[in-house]
Amino acid sequence: MLELAGIERDRVQLRRVSAAEGALFAQYVNDVSETTTAMGPFEKDKFQLQLAAMERAFNTRRLRWLTGMEYHLANHDNVYETRTSPELVGEILDEAIESEYHKGLILEVLKDGPLSVREMAEKTGLKVYTISKRLNELENDGLAEFDSHEGSTPKFISLAA
Amino acid sequence: MTENYEPKILAFLCNWCAYAGADLAGVSRFQYPPTLRVIRTMCSGRVDPLYVIEGLKTGYDGVFVSG
C-alpha cells in the first residue's frame, strides 16, 4: 500500500531479532538508519490524503480479516481438503489492498461534499475508469450513493463516517 | 537536506526478543546511531498496521518493527 501511496517502501522495516542477538540488533539499526537517512525526511504534509486513505483501508472489514491470514491460507487445508497456493494468496491480498486503498481515497475526497467522477479523479490522481469501478463497489456496500445532478453531471456523496 | 540530518524512526520492539536484544547490544557496548524512538510491546504481533500509519502521520521518517 505504501507503493500505491507513493511513499518509499523502505520507510517501514520489519526485522526478527532474538534476545541473544545484541550485535544483530545493532547492525539492523545501523542499516535501517543509513537507508532512512538516504531517503531524506518524510514530508508528512505532502501525504495527508494518502495516509488518511491508508488508515480508512486498514479499518475495513476485508483487510482486518485478511491481515495475518496469509500463512494459514497457504499452509493449511480448507474444509474441502484443498489448499490455496501462496501465489494466489498473494494475488488475493494485492487485489484487496489496491481496492480498499482506492476506496479509501474516494471516501476521503468525498468527505467535504458531493463530487462528480471527474472531480474525484482529479483530486485522487486515479483514472476515471478506476473511480467508476471503485465507486460501484462502494455503492454496493452502502458506503456511497448518487446525490444530485449539476447540469447533466451526476454527483456522489459518501455515506461513511 | 543538511549534512547533520538524522532521521527519527519510530521503533516497536517486543519485550521478550527485540527489546532484550537491544538491551544486550547496550550492555555489550555495540555502537549504533540514536535514531530510534522506542515503544515496547509485549509481542510484535500486537503491532497493528494502523500504528505504522499513525507513526507516518505524526511525521516520523521511518517505522521499525522488530520481534
Q: What is the pLDDT of residues B34-59, one digit of tens each?
A: 999 999 999 988 899 999 999 999 99
Q: What is the pTM of this model?
A: 0.89
Would the CB atoms of B35 and A36 count as touching at under 8 Å?
yes
Residue B2 has pLDDT above 60, yes or no: no
A59-104 residue pLDDT tens: 999 999 998 888 888 889 889 988 888 899 999 999 999 999 999 9
Closest residue on chain B to A37 (Cα): B7
Would the CB atoms of A67 and B5 count as touching at under 8 Å?
no
- The pLDDT assigned to B3 comes to 61
Do residues A12 and A2 lie in contact, with contact meaning Cβ atoms separated by under 8 Å?
Answer: yes
ipTM of the modeled complex: 0.89
CA angle A123-A124-A127, nearest 5°? 110
Amino acid at B67: G
The CB density around residue A34, as the number of other CB atoms within 10 Å, is: 12
Give me the residues of A, 123-152, that contact B with CB < 8 A. Answer: none
Chain B contact present for A37, CB below 8 A:
yes
Of A21, A25, A58, which has the smallest distance from its Cβ to B49's Cβ? Answer: A58
Would the CB atoms of A58 and B66 count as touching at under 8 Å?
no
Residue B4 has pLDDT above 80, yes or no: no
Chain B contact present for A13, CB below 8 A:
yes
Distance from CA of A44 to the nearest CA of B (A): 5
- The pLDDT assigned to A71 comes to 86
Would the CB atoms of B50 and A13 count as touching at under 8 Å?
no
- The pLDDT assigned to A83 comes to 87
In a 10 Å sphere around its CB, with 0-12 CB exposed, 13-18 middle and 19+ buried, how is residue A159 labelled? middle
Do residues B64 and A15 lie in contact, with contact meaning Cβ atoms separated by under 8 Å?
Answer: yes
A99-135 residue pLDDT tens: 999 999 999 999 999 999 999 999 999 999 999 999 9
Which residues of B fall within a CB distance of 8 Å from A16? 17, 66-67
Mutation for testing the B interface, residue in A16, A17, A60 having most B CBs under 10 Å:
A17
